[in-house]
A and B are shown apart, each in its own frame.
Chain A
Amino acid sequence: MNAQVSEIRISQDQIQPEPDSPDGEHPPDSGAVESSAIRTFLLSRGNSAIADRGFKWLMVLCALSIFGIVALIAVQLVKGSQLSWNKFGFGFFAWPEGFSFGSVFKAIMDPNAPQPNYWDPVNGHFSALPFVYGTIVSSFLALFMAVPLAIGVAVFLTEMCPGILRAPLAFLTELLAAIPSVIYGLWAMFVLVPLMREHVNPLLVQVLGWTGFFNDDNPTGLGFLSAGVILAVMILPIISSLTREVMTAVPHSQREAVLALGATRWEMIRMGVLRNARIGIVGAVILGLGRALGETMAVTMVIGNSIEIHRSLLSNGNSMASVIANQFSEASDNLHLSALIEIGLALFVVTIVVNALAQVLVWAVTRGAPARVN
């Protein structure tokens, strides 16, 4: 490198200044430029145009692989569910053939009424209604429990927390997001479920049994409520960290303006921060919903795996993801497999729509700063 630098200096010294023409114009380009050592060296190396272009297209290919993956998943799911789609159509997600809405409604409301046979691999009748019901109930239970807590944590960490505690607490909350789903399920099965069975469920039946949504037919402690609780624990860190990101994106001038008008700290948070970050918080909640919809392992272990629909939140059930996890590797009949793949396709479409909506909302508030989802 040093030799080349001194070479440059030498050749710069050697370049003769152009003779000035009388009227001060620059002489025309002669075409034959003086050839210094460095110039011949550089020209002999050629340029890297081909290598550059090749590298760029290699990188473009890697980036396009992401589109490729989405297309791959979509194509495989659609191909695999053809059999079931051709046979059942949209009715797959409604009540099974041979049953009316009335009989299904009666079966849901009355714990003693006979349940229609929704999912019948033996006779080839498949209806995904119980799984849709289970997914919706467990996800919304989880949201109901997680959103207030997550926003509370975010508000505390952003506005109220003393500086020393902030980093460790934030780290702890994000550590919750890193724990694998199986371990949540393991803990839920051996700690949460007995707790629900022995203490929480009887209390709920006693206090809220009159609403009809809590009855004591299910003594196992598994069910929608347990699944909702463990899902709430799992989606909490996502909602909380995104809410924190959105709240810190609100400019300080907003906070100071509200404080200058004489607000208390809660009023400042409510009017200055939360009001501005509303859209982003909604986006964070929807992202949490998206995660809850697709969660498989923890839900499979605590939801009870029963293909029935009951009104009680304490009853066993099944969700779309958990039925796939349970039955897929043992489905021998092609129609059975195709029905499970159709459930997978529905899950895919729903989570893509929900996640896309959430990303748009969060992006609108953070203005394009990358919204990281752990």
Chain B
Amino acid sequence: MKVEINRLRSILREQTDRLVTGLAVLATVLVVAPLVAIFVYLVFKGASSLNLAFFTQIPKPVGEVGGGMANAIVGSGILLGIASMIGIPMGIGGGIFLAEFGRGTKLADAVRFTADVLNGVPSIVMGIAIYALIVVPQGHFSAFAGGVALGIMMIPTVCRTTEEMLLMVPHAVREAALALGVPNWRSVLAITVKTASPGIITGCMLAFARVAGETAPLIFTALGNTYWSTNLNHEIAALPLQIWIYAQSPYDDWHRLAWAGALVLIILIVTAVSLVRYVTSRGVLKGAS
């Protein structure tokens, strides 16, 4: 009798194992499926609407067929330029502090924790803060406000990835520079940061890709614009913002433009993420080993 119970038990255990394996495979398929579905649908819908006019013309008035999102692409470029000018230096500076000067200190722990928490704050809240800080005193929406909102979103990401990359530089490199009489500040900048620069650049690209797709902070700082405008003091169009406005509109032609814009955006982001993956998998520190 005991032998039968034991046999039953082990059969049950084996079958549970196989069931769970099947469930795990099913879960993976269910997760990969929407991703593939989204990509295929995007390419299918967006590619048919992509033409040269998309990249060179501004949106036509409602009801007319055609037009493009050239102003949105340029506008996104300007906003991301401002954001990078704010976010990248401050982020790299913070990363240098965390890795070089603050290692092991309580201040560095607090900065790291706050950066991670800040990463999780909804982007629309950042937009509200910049609205109250820049748009209200200035009295108008502006590309500058949008750029600042995107820039402060980049800082925590750049800071953390810079710290991680700098921590990977072996001590021998730093010590060699210091032993040769190079001042500390110069050793950090010209030796350590330079060694880790492929990794730092990929971190910046990651932050750039993340911020390129953000819409919420731009809704009430940059507002969007249907004309050509590169003036930093005026409203400016941005690609994700334009996609949102067109998607919610009742016009089929605008939906078509939204799909094309989504395809352009996703190509940009996938390229950036794949590049990041490729560089980090190849080995970050070509100069150090």
Contact indicator A321/B124 (Cβ below 8 Å): yes
Contacts of B273 in A (CB 8 A): 174-175, 178
Give the distance to chain A from B210, nearest Cβ to Cβ, in Å: 7
Q: Give CA–CA (A263, B255) in the complex, Å.
A: 55
Cross-interface CB contact of A370 among B32, B110, B112, B213, cutoff 8 Å: B112
B120 at the interface (CB under 8 A from A): yes
Residue of A nearest to B116 (CB): A359
Contact indicator B159/A152 (Cβ below 8 Å): no
A171 at the interface (CB under 8 A from B): yes
Residue of A nearest to B266 (CB): A183
> Which B89-110 residues have C-beta < 8 A from chain A?
89-94, 96-98, 100-102, 107-108, 110
B55 at the interface (CB under 8 A from A): no
Residue of B nearest to A348 (CB): B125
Residue of A nearest to B119 (CB): A373
Given A66-B159, A149-B31, A341-B128; A352-B133 close (CB under 8 Å): no
Give the distance to chain A from B258, nearest Cβ to Cβ, in Å: 6
Per DSSP, chain B at the interface is helix
Q: Give CA–CA (A291, B132) in the complex, Å.
A: 24
A217 at the interface (CB under 8 A from B): no
A60 at the interface (CB under 8 A from B): yes
The total number of A-B Cβ pairs within 8 Å is 270
B209 at the interface (CB under 8 A from A): yes
A253 at the interface (CB under 8 A from B): no
Residue interface mask B116-156, A partner, CB < 8 A = 1: 11111111111011011100000000000000000010011
The interface on chain B, measured as residues whose beta carbon lies within 8 A of the other chain's beta carbons, has a size of 96
Contacts of B223 in A (CB 8 A): 329
> Which B14-41 residues have C-beta < 8 A from chain A?
14, 16-17, 20-21, 23-28, 30-32, 34-35, 37-38, 41
Contacts of A340 in B (CB 8 A): 128
Give the distance to chain B from A360, nearest Cβ to Cβ, in Å: 9
Contact indicator A175/B120 (Cβ below 8 Å): no
Cross-interface CB contact of A324 among B110, B113, B128, cutoff 8 Å: B128
Contact indicator B183/A66 (Cβ below 8 Å): no
Q: Give CA–CA (A60, B258) in the complex, Å.
A: 43
> Which A18-75 residues have C-beta < 8 A from chain B?
42, 47-48, 51-52, 54-56, 58-67, 69-70, 72-73
Given A175-B270, A178-B269; A344-B124 close (CB under 8 Å): yes
Which are the 7 A-B pairs with shortest beta-carbon distances?
A: A180-B213, A62-B93, A152-B27, A294-B122, A48-B183, A55-B185, A355-B120
Hey, which bits of chain B sit against chain A, CB under 8 A? Answer: 13-14, 16-17, 20-21, 23-28, 30-32, 34-35, 37-38, 41-42, 89-94, 96-98, 100-102, 107-108, 110-126, 128-129, 131-133, 152, 155-156, 159-160, 163-164, 181, 183-186, 188-189, 209-210, 212-216, 219-220, 223, 240, 243-244, 247-248, 255, 258-259, 262, 265-266, 269-270, 273, 277
Since A76-B133, A183-B265, A344-B124 are in contact, a sample of 16 more A-B pairs with Cβ atoms closer than 8 Å, ordered by chain A residue number, is A65-B90, A66-B155, A76-B128, A153-B24, A153-B28, A176-B34, A186-B262, A236-B31, A240-B31, A293-B122, A301-B248, A341-B128, A344-B128, A348-B122, A355-B121, A373-B119
